[in-house]
Structure 1
């Protein structure tokens, strides 16, 4: 009997050859299965339900690509807010790091979209073709009407789920209430139709055909998790000291006297595993932390009258008989950075300006107007990101003698983007240098302390006697 691979040796693991074979999972019950179903149901409800919510007479969550706006309930984000993407990604990254150090691949087992849809497709497979042994028997059976019916039923339901998933996803980028009728009447645009077809195919292939191969060969997470785990990380492990030597035994036998451990070698932990591994060989890269083997093993232990937990969430330190260390530098470090970034992101979102001002100077350096003044032209771009009407006074400052030629006030409707030209002039004698920095201000009427500012340059000749 080979020695089980220990947790700290996970970096030396390679994908087993048997993983390339088709995996037939067996149905099971247990605490972690109920937890996963509950969490998956909540995620599905959020994914398929949020897209239909309405907020202020518009879709509550919508990335409006044509208008270049991202609506999330009462907040609207513009391309200028993409700077917030960096802290969001950092929060996601350190959240994943924290979870991995604490409890291994719980993200993969419970909340990863690939895992969630894979479990849904496996459930469809069960209700269409039967449990594990029935599916194996059906695949080996010759072609018949019954086999064709069962296979067609399975793939039909797979395609239905894939289409609904794809339409929902595209509905977050194109208004769902307009998208669905246009698809049903074959009047949808080419771009929307392409993406619905693309995500339908991607869902059907990934969750239906590739399944665990996506986790093994396409997702890098399983490969770099070994550098993040430590001896106190809670991972699914087989208690070797308690379980070995494994073997079948008859009811009422004093198996301890026979030199046997608690493991009855029933293979249930292997049969329920969605990636087809044997957790008794030690923690492996293919393990997605779904705890299916824990539920299956606990059910067998209960039937045998043994203590549950032969396979359980535990740490390498606990398996060696030492107490678990929950607070440790790496976990505290990831947690501290995660909290700091969440606070930073919250502050950045809350304090972001709801009205932005950009000023662009025209390419021409300067010109002499009919009053004999030096004049520069500019284009102001103002965006109202809020959901209220705004009225601003326009002014310019920089040095004495500046005159603003253009609108003195601007009115902005909710979500409006306004671009307008204006000019600034000055008497030739007022210039002290060729290029002077000036600032444009938008001051909200009634709130003198609430203003926006954007700088630009004013250019002109110092030679007052120059002919233009």
Structure 2
């Protein structure tokens, strides 16, 4: 497999000439020599990676299956509706029995913080494991190349077919392949839209032209994006378009565990010689079979050191271990290891690394906030706004009256009949709440009420009162909430 070499040497030469006198020349020379051996495909040819079975290939398929949630999740039903529905037009976000409204969107910030720190933790500990096992670009590209192999054969056959002149047989194979790619792209876009509208209804309206125009545009963009990114750009997306590939390098350290070639054990490389015994070998364990390069989806040679193109998919580990089995040598020539381990330095235990404790603390705080937010979500919320002008009114019967505007937020997907009451004193009277308030789902329903207290009963200029809202859902479940306010009277 040939990859186009990036002119990194000229860049490093410039860095070398401009480097500080404090930097040892040997260090710059070593950096230059290492980067000069890197191979990065710049799109000059299509990489047809070899697919072989193995432990890490199996793990890769299992982790990729997480994306089945993305494809099948919109069809899960809960209490007669879609279990997870991001209803943007109505500003309601249903997560099973919980309904999150814009007022509760502070939890989204914590959720984004949690996943951002989680990604940083994963990178610091095991490198770009997200890229190799979970990233949608990697997973979709893997599916596309699997289809390509089933239709066109192994890598040599695919290269031969690409170079062959157009024929009816080639046109048939290519047409089927691209049709399946477009179908997967369509399902990707359709599944995305299904999270934002009722999925069964979308199937009924989409193909007869009755769906929202935004749905057609979104599906078209996702279908085209998936088709181009996973079908044609492939590893080029990781090299040049993904920002994570650019920043992950500064997130690694000497203790990060990544797929690594054991140079001390493998060098010098050489083929297995007939009649040569283990005690009289002149070469290392690497037989220079290039199988680690053949299976790499980005076309790099892991033996040349950790590189930008390595997505830590560990497929090279499967390839190398299989070759070691054939030549009767132990596994682990290419393995997950840290730089400290390869150089024989003492390695720190996971819990001894300060970075793990810092990241762990942030993850705990973010997750605790999210859990608290969801457990504290009330089906209804009540706000009590005290009238400011005037603060109170003296009635003809000698009682003091305060005016309040109550706002009832209904978070359940059904209309509620809400009963309002007040507590704080036995002799207070609530006026304006004789009938239940009809609260529509997902909206705020205001109502005006008055609280009266005999003047002779007032013992202070201000005293607390508590408003209660209570309703019964169609399922028979009782829901209630309360809000404390203040009753204002004349100075004593």
TM-score with structure 2 length normalisation? Answer: 0.78
Hey, what does 1:407 align to over in structure 2? 433
TM-aligned CA distance change 1:20 to 1:326, over 3 Å: farther
Paired position in structure 1 for 2:22: none
Partner of 1:20: helix, strand, or coil?
Answer: coil
Whole-angstrom distance in 1 between the partners of 2:388 and 2:484:
18
Deviates more, 1:116-125 or 1:362-371: 362-371
Provide the secondary structure at the position in 2 that maps to 1:381.
strand
Q: Secondary structure at the match of 1:294?
A: helix
Instruction: Summarize the alignment of residues 4-403 of structure 1 with structure 2, pairs less than 5 Å apart.
Output: 16-21=39-44, 22-41=46-65, 43-254=66-277, 257=280, 259-327=282-350, 328-329=352-353, 330-358=355-383, 379-386=405-412, 391-395=418-422
Cα shift at 1:273: 1.0
- Does 2:446 match 1:420? yes
Residues 428-443 of structure 1 mapped to structure 2, 5 A cutoff: 441-443=467-469
Go from structure 1 to structure 2 and tell me whether the alpha carbon gap of 1:198 and 1:380 turns closer, same or farther (over 3 Å shift): farther
| Matched positions, count | 447
Change (3 A) 1:390 1:335: farther
Shift of 1:333: 2.6
Could you tell me which runs of 5 or more consecutive residues in structure 2 were left unpaired when the two chains were aligned. Answer: 1-8, 10-26, 457-461, 473-478
Relative distance call for 1:409 and 1:211 in structure 2 (3 A) is: farther
Alignment deviations for residues 335-365 of structure 1 (CA, whole Å, 9 cap, x no partner): 2332343233212321233322245689998
> Is the CA contact (8 Å cut-off) linking 1:63 and 1:173 kept in structure 2?
yes
Q: CA RMSD in A?
A: 3.9
| CA deviation string 1:46-86 (max 9, x = no partner) | 22222111111111111122322111212211111101112
TM-score relative to the length of structure 1:
0.82
Q: In structure 2, how many angstroms separate the alpha carbons of the residues matched to 1:411 and 1:229?
A: 59
Inter-CA distance 456–251: structure 2 relative to 1 (3 Å threshold): farther
Q: Does 1:452 align with 2:474?
A: no
Which sits farther off after the overlay, 261-270 or 12-21? Answer: 12-21
**SS of equivalent residue, structure 2 residue 214:** helix
SS in 2 for 1:442: strand
Matched-pair contact (CA < 8 Å) for 2:392–2:403: no
Offset, 1:218? 2.1
Query: Whole-Å Cα distance in 2 between the matches of residues 299 and 126 of structure 1?
Result: 21
CA-CA distance at 1:311 after TM superposition: 0.7
Partner of 2:5: none
Query: Is the contact made by 1:368 and 1:375 (CA closer than 8 Å) also made in structure 2?
Result: yes
- Call closer, same or farther: CA 1:251–1:410 in 2, change over 3 Å: farther
Q: 2-side partners of 1:136 and 1:365: how far apart?
A: 84
SS at structure 2 position matched to 1:51: helix
SS at the partner of 2:75?
coil
Structure 2 CA distance for partners of 1:445 and 1:158, relative to 1, 3 Å = closer
